[in-house]
Amino acid sequence: MKLPDAQQLKAWDAYTIQQEPVSSTDLMERAAMACTGWLLTHFNNREFMIFCGKGNNGGDGLAIARLLLQHGCAVKIFLPQTANPVSADHAVNLLRLREAGGNAVEISTREELPHITQGIIVIDALYGSGMNRPLEGIVADIVNHLNNSEAVVVSIDLPSGMLVHESSVGRLMVKAAYTLSFQVYKLCFMAAANAAFFGRLVVLDIGLHPLFLHQLDTVYSMTTKEKTVSLLKDRDAFSHKGTHGHALLIAGNKGKAGAAILAARACLRTGAGLLTVDAAETIIDILQTAVPEAMTKDRREKAFSNRFSAIGAGPGMGTGKEETDLLTGLLNDTDQPLILDADALTILSVHKQLLEQLPPGTILTPHPKEFDRVFGACSHEFDRWNRAVALSVRYPFVIVLKGHHTLIAWQGKGMFNNTGNAGMAKGGSGDVLTGMLTALLAQGYTAHDAAILGVWLHGLAGDLALMQQQSLESLLPSDLIDSIGAAFNSLRG
Q: Is 271 annotated as a binding residue?
A: no
User: What is the pLDDT of the chain when averaged over all its residues?
Assistant: 95
Segment 45-62, tens digit of pLDDT: 899 999 999 999 999 999
Say if residue 187 is in the same domain as residue 295: no
In sequence order, which residues have a C-beta less than 8 Å from that of residue 330 and are 6 or more positions away? Answer: 250, 304, 311, 313, 338
Say if residue 192 is in the same domain as residue 244: no
Say if residue 138 is in the same domain as residue 208: yes
Segment 16-45, tens digit of pLDDT: 999 999 999 999 999 999 999 999 999 988
Q: Is 141 annotated as a binding residue?
A: no
Could you tell me the CA-to-CA distances from 256 to 301, 303, 314, 344 in Å, in that order? 19, 23, 11, 14
The one-letter code for the residue type at 255 is G
Say if residue 476 is in the same domain as residue 443: yes
Least confident segment among 129-133, 222-226, 301-305: 301-305
* Per-residue confidence (pLDDT) for residue 337, from 0 to 100: 83
What is the Cβ-side half-sphere exposure of residue 227, based on CA atoms within 13 angstroms? 19
In sign, the C-alpha dihedral spanning 414, 457, 255, 328 is negative
Domain boundary among 188, 215, 242: 215
User: Taking phi first (over 0 means left), then psi (-120 to 50 degrees means alpha), and beta for anything else, what does residue 157 get?
Assistant: left
The one-letter code for the residue type at 6 is A
Q: Report whether pLDDT(433) > 80.
A: yes
CA dist., res. 257 & res. 351, Å (int): 25
The one-letter code for the residue type at 417 is N
In total, the chain counts a number of residues equal to 493
**Who wins on pLDDT, 432 or 83?**
432
Kindly indicate the confidence band of residue 493, based on its pLDDT and cuts at 50, 70 and 90. confident
SS3 450: helix
Phi, psi (rounded to 5 degrees) for 331: -65, -25
Could you tell me the CA-to-CA distances from 98 to 45, 91, 279 in Å, in that order? 22, 11, 75
SS3 217: coil
1 lies in some domain: no
Kindly indicate the confidence band of residue 306, based on its pLDDT and cuts at 50, 70 and 90. confident
* Per-residue confidence (pLDDT) for residue 333, from 0 to 100: 84
CA dist., res. 231 & res. 452, Å (int): 9
Say if residue 336 is in the same domain as residue 195: no
Q: Is 58 annotated as a binding residue?
A: yes
Segment 210-267, tens digit of pLDDT: 999 999 999 999 999 999 999 999 888 877 777 789 999 999 999 999 999 999 999 9
Average pLDDT for 455-484: 97
* Per-residue confidence (pLDDT) for residue 193, from 0 to 100: 96
CA dist., res. 93 & res. 66, Å (int): 8
CA dist., res. 106 & res. 104, Å (int): 6
CA dist., res. 155 & res. 106, Å (int): 20
Say if residue 188 is in the same domain as residue 242: no
Q: Is 93 annotated as a binding residue?
A: no
Segment 165-208, tens digit of pLDDT: 999 999 999 999 999 999 999 999 999 999 999 999 999 999 99
* Per-residue confidence (pLDDT) for residue 303, from 0 to 100: 63
Cα 266–Cα 268–Cα 270 angle in degrees, nearest 5: 70
Q: Is 128 annotated as a binding residue?
A: yes
- Domain CATH number, residue 153: 3.40.50.10260
Q: Is 124 annotated as a binding residue?
A: yes
Say if residue 35 is in the same domain as residue 63: yes
Which of these, 176, 124, 113, 189, lies nearest to 382 by C-alpha position? 189
Q: Is 207 annotated as a binding residue?
A: no
* Per-residue confidence (pLDDT) for residue 180, from 0 to 100: 98
Q: Is 420 annotated as a binding residue?
A: no
The arrangement of strands across the sheet holding 338-340 comes to 220-222, 413-416, 407-410, 398-401, 363-364, 338-340, 310-313, 246-250, 274-279, 295-298
> Could you give the number of structural domains in the chain?
2
Predicted TM-score of the model (pTM): 0.95
Kindly indicate the confidence band of residue 132, based on its pLDDT and cuts at 50, 70 and 90. confident
* Per-residue confidence (pLDDT) for residue 336, from 0 to 100: 84
Asked if residue 368 lies in contact with residue 374, where contact means CB atoms within 8 angstroms, the answer is no
In sequence order, which residues have a C-beta less than 8 Å from that of residue 78 and are 6 or more positions away? Answer: 49, 50, 51, 52, 104, 105, 106, 107, 114, 142
Domain boundary among 189, 215, 241: 215
459 lies in some domain: yes
Could you tell me the CA-to-CA distances from 461 to 17, 149, 222, 267, 449 in Å, in that order? 42, 39, 18, 14, 18
Say if residue 414 is in the same domain as residue 452: yes
323 lies in some domain: yes
In sequence order, which residues have a C-beta less than 8 Å from that of residue 249 and are 6 or more positions away? Answer: 260, 263, 264, 267, 275, 276, 277, 278, 311, 312, 313, 315, 434, 435, 438
Segment 134-168, tens digit of pLDDT: 999 999 999 999 999 999 999 999 999 999 999 99
CA dist., res. 182 & res. 10, Å (int): 12
Q: Is 316 annotated as a binding residue?
A: yes
Q: Report whether pLDDT(304) > 70.
A: no
Say if residue 21 is in the same domain as residue 96: yes
The one-letter code for the residue type at 320 is G
Say if residue 139 is in the same domain as residue 270: no
Q: Report whether pLDDT(362) > 80.
A: yes
**What is the domain range of residue 51?**
6-215
Say if residue 255 is in the same domain as residue 316: yes
Say if residue 204 is in the same domain as residue 243: no
Domain boundary among 169, 192, 215: 215
SS3 154: strand
* Per-residue confidence (pLDDT) for residue 305, from 0 to 100: 65
**Who wins on pLDDT, 371 or 118?**
371
CA dist., res. 23 & res. 16, Å (int): 9
The CA-based diameter of the chain, rounded to the nearest angstrom, is 84
Q: Is 133 annotated as a binding residue?
A: yes
220 lies in some domain: no
Q: Is 56 annotated as a binding residue?
A: yes
Terminal-to-terminal C-alpha distance of the chain? 21
